[in-house]
Amino acid sequence: MKYNYCGRSGLQLPEISLGLWHNFGDVDDFETSTSMILHAFDRGITHFDLANNYGPPPGSAESNFGKILSKELKSHRDELIISSKAGHLMWDGPYGDGGSRKYIMASIDQSLKRTGLEYFDIFYSHRYDPNTPVEETMQALIDIVRQGKALYIGISKYPPQKAIEAYEILKGQNIPCLIYQDRYSMLAREPEAEQMNINKKYGVGFIAFSPLAQGLLTNKYLHGIPKGSRASKSHGFLQEKEVTSEVVKKVTALNELAIQRGQTLAEMSLAWLLRNEHVTSVIIGASSVEQLKDNLRATDNSLFSPDELNLIENILR
């Protein structure tokens, strides 16, 4: 596994990290979840990404990760980078959603309890909340670090101008933002427009989520929606209607290129992200150890010829 320095910090992250948004909740098979975490760690994936609401039910991914950690990986705590987040709806009433100090402070305490951790390595504001001043959310994150509940701070899905505001506030208090987390894949390229250059200027790392577009950038939806896939599940975030004929046409063409390169489409899709100098790490999801193994092979060949890159641009256009 290759490890990249995260922005201008001294923290290195594996170029492939594992996310627990799907497949680690109480609705999922605990044995499979355990095998995936252990296989990932054995292969050098030191970074696991959580959030308060991951499950379903919300909170159960943190509880299950905590169980796996205490049973299997307790002695390896100092070899792990564990992140969590608060920002999306977690509990009823006005204090269980958004970016208020009240919500963030209560949520990290709940997350620490569920995981059994003493601290998170990275704690994120999960989204920009237009109803809370950025100063209030950032002050809560700064205080979390000062209280020893997290080592580093990150933000996720902030619009570029709001990210700059956040970076300035954090820098002003000597707790620089470590990392920015956003959706980024061959099918979702918004961060290229502004955010990646802003991060570079401020020395903030970039971590890509849903790098396989929730499975669309694999060969699984080429001939319909297979049983057991994310798009087939009622609690899956990927909707059947997102598997459009236009997407399948692009993915089919990408799959042909992947075959020519001797890779699966999942491998090629990740390799395409890993070649980008702005990307510190990609957070993959997986529903089996086999998928993890496939995705880890992406690092075997992340070189693309100019012709291959042009072809990809033409397909995606």
Ligand X SMILES: NC(=O)c1ccc[n+]([C@@H]2O[C@H](COP(=O)([O-])OP(=O)(O)OC[C@H]3O[C@@H](n4cnc5c(N)ncnc54)[C@H](OP(=O)(O)O)[C@@H]3O)[C@@H](O)[C@H]2O)c1
In the complex, the residues that contact ligand X under the rule CB under 6 A are 19-23, 49, 126, 156-157, 181, 209-215, 218, 220, 229-230, 266, 283-287, 291, 294-295
Residue 81: phi and psi, rounded to 5, are -115, 110
Chain centroid to Cα 286, Å, comes to 12
Residues in the chain: 317
CB of 206 to ligand X, least distance (A): 12
Nearer to ligand X, 33 or 181 (CB): 181
Q: Is 179 exposed, middle or buried (0-12, 13-18, 19+ CB in 10 A)?
A: buried
SS3 state at 175: coil
CB of 166 to ligand X, least distance (A): 15
CB of 235 to ligand X, least distance (A): 11
CB of 227 to ligand X, least distance (A): 10
| Cis before 160? omega within 30 | no
Chain centroid to Cα 265, Å, comes to 19
CA dist 180 and 194 (Å) reads 13
Nearer to ligand X, 31 or 307 (CB): 31
CB of 306 to ligand X, least distance (A): 26
Nearer to ligand X, 60 or 156 (CB): 156
Nearer to ligand X, 117 or 286 (CB): 286
CA dist 212 and 16 (Å) reads 12
Nearer to ligand X, 15 or 49 (CB): 49
SS3 state at 227: coil
CB of 100 to ligand X, least distance (A): 18
**H-type alpha helices, 173-241:** 195-202
Nearer to ligand X, 60 or 210 (CB): 210
CA dist 111 and 120 (Å) reads 9
CB of 116 to ligand X, least distance (A): 19
Nearer to ligand X, 301 or 310 (CB): 301
Residue 153: phi and psi, rounded to 5, are -115, 145
Q: Which residues pair with 19 in a beta bridge?
A: 49
Nearer to ligand X, 144 or 207 (CB): 207
Please report the sign of the dihedral spanned by the C-alpha atoms of residue 103, residue 109, residue 113, residue 115: positive
CB of 213 to ligand X, least distance (A): 5
Nearer to ligand X, 173 or 247 (CB): 247
Q: Is 125 exposed, middle or buried (0-12, 13-18, 19+ CB in 10 A)?
A: buried
Q: What is the dihedral of CA 263, 269, 270, 272, to 10 degrees?
A: 100
CB of 174 to ligand X, least distance (A): 25
Residue with tokens 């609401």: 53
